[in-house]
Amino acid sequence: MSTATVEVSGADAAAWAAELRATLVANVRPGDSVSPVELQRSAELVVAVIGLVFAGVETAKTIRDWWHSRRPEGITVTILVSDGAQVDVSVVSEAELEIVFQRAASRR
């Protein structure tokens, strides 16, 4: 098991994060968990944060698939993995994201 934080930013970040959270919850595996959405606000930006506990790479695929179908909306998704990795979903392939998740899960 490993942990990660998913940050969603852009116009309507809270609504998009709620949708992503619902997608993650619908695909959760035994032992995995998805926290409620928390909002972090600054004068310029709203970032919606979702905490994850995961055991495998399936969560990476779920996040990547969700983001890929919404990228025209201008949504930014950044994943902060417990091993220190920080991944901008827009600049990695699904395979690269799965490697990051697998590496994090294997270190626990």
**Can you list the domains of the chain with their CATH numbers?**
2-106 (3.30.70.260)
- pLDDT for position 73: 80
Tokens for 34, please give them: 């998805």
Distance CA 10, CA 82 (A): 24
Number of Cβ within a 10 Å radius of residue 102: 14
Average pLDDT estimate for 32-47:
89
**At residue 108, does pLDDT exceed 80?**
no
Average pLDDT estimate for 35-60:
88
Q: What is the pTM of this model?
A: 0.86
**At residue 64, does pLDDT exceed 70?**
yes
Q: How many CA atoms lie within 13 A of 106 on its CB side?
A: 7
Q: Give the chain's end-to-end CA distance (angstroms, integer).
A: 6
CA 41 to chain centre: 18
What does DSSP assign to residue 55? S
